[in-house]
Amino acid sequence: MNTDPVIKLEHVRKELSIRNGGEELVNTILPDISFSIGRGEFTAITGPSGSGKTTLLYLMGGLDKPNSGSVYLDGEEISAMSEEDLAEMRNAKLGFVYQFHFLLPEFTALENVMMPLLARGRAGVGDARKRATELLSDLGLSDKLHNKPNQLSGGQQQRVAIARALVNRPMVLLADEPTGNLDSKNAEVIYTLFSRLNEETGQTIVLVTHDDHFAGETRRILHILDGRLDSDRKLR
C-alpha cells in the first residue's frame, strides 16, 4: 500500500464561539491535533457525541478553516486556500457525505447525484446521467431515480448523498456517519460498497461512525476524545 500521506493535519486548533447576549463564549473544540492519512487508506474516526468528529471532517474537506495549524490535501495546504480555489479543489478531489445528508430539495435523486459532474462541465449531461444511474443502482435505488428528496426515506436520502459524493470518482471520500439512518441490511450495502471501492480502486476513505461493527471493517481507527486523538489503531 502506498502510504504517502494524502491528508495531513499539523497542530490544528479549532475554536467555535457562541454568542450569549453581549458576551462571546469561545469553545475550544480541537485544542491541538496532528495526524496524517495515507493514500488508499480506509479509516474510521470514532468517539463520543460532541467530541469533535464532524468538526475534524469539515477541516479535512476544506469546508472550514482551523484557527491555527495547517491542513494539507494531496500536498496542498488547503487551510490557506481561497474559497473559490477550495470549491474547485473539492469538485476535483473530494466527495463529502454530511451527517444530515443535505440534498437539494428541488432536484430529483438522479439530478442531485449528477450535479457535481455538471457544475464545472466535468461531464456532459448524457455521461453524467449514465454514471449517476449506475451509482444509484449499486446503492439499491434504481426505482427512485426521479423522486425528489422529500419523496425519499431518511435512509434513501443518505444513500443518494453517498452516490453524490462518489460520482466524481474523488481522490478522497469523507463521510460523516453514512449509515446513521440505515437499517443493518442497507448499512451492509454501504460497508460492502466502501470496502470494494477501497480494495479494487484504492479509494481513500475517511468515515465517522458510532457503529463498532462498521469501524471494525476498516483498516484504521482514530478515536477522538474531547478533541484529542485518544488512540490510533491499525487493523489487519
Residues in contact with ligand ATP by CB under 6 A are: 16, 18, 27, 29, 47, 49-55, 99
Candidate residues 48, 50, 124, 154; the one interacting with other proteins per rule CB under 8 A: 124
Q: Give SS3 for 161.
A: helix
Instruction: Tell me the C-alpha distance between 204 and 5, whole Å.
Output: 10
Q: Is 126 in the site for other proteins (CB under 8 A)?
A: no
24 binds other proteins (CB under 8 A): no
Query: How are strands ordered across the β-sheet holding 76-77?
Result: 23-38, 5-20, 68-73, 76-77
> Which residue of the chain is nearest Mg ion when measured via CB?
54
Residue closer to ligand ATP by CB (options 49, 150) is 49
Q: How many residues bind other proteins (CB under 8 A)?
A: 32
Letters for 74-93 (x = contact with other proteins by CB under 8 A, - = none) are ---------xx--xxxxxx-
Q: How far apart are CA 114 and CA 13, in angstroms?
A: 35
Residues 166-195 that bind other proteins (CB under 8 A): 168
Q: Does 98 bind other proteins (CB under 8 A)?
A: yes
Using CB under 8 A as the binding rule, whether residue 105 contacts other proteins is answered as: yes
Name the nearest CA neighbour of 109 among 164, 178, 155: 164
Residues that bind Mg ion (CB under 5 A): 54, 99
Taking CB under 8 A as the criterion, the residue among 28, 76, 115, 228 binding other proteins is: 115
Binding partner selected for residue 233 from ligand ATP, other proteins, Mg ion, none, CB under the kind-specific 5 to 8 Å limit:
none
Name which of 226, 175, 235, 233 is nearest 33 in CA terms: 226
Cell of 202: 484504492
Binders in 48-67 for other proteins, by CB under 8 A:
58, 61, 63-65
Where are the strands (E) in the chain, listed by range? 5-20, 23-38, 42-46, 68-73, 76-77, 94-97, 172-176, 204-208, 220-225, 228-234
165 CB-near residues (< 8 Å, 6+ apart): 95, 96, 97, 173, 174, 175
DSSP-derived pairing of the beta strands 204-208 and 172-176: parallel
Binding positions for other proteins, rule: CB under 8 A: 58, 61, 63-65, 83-84, 87-92, 94, 96, 98, 102-107, 111, 115-116, 118-121, 124, 164, 168
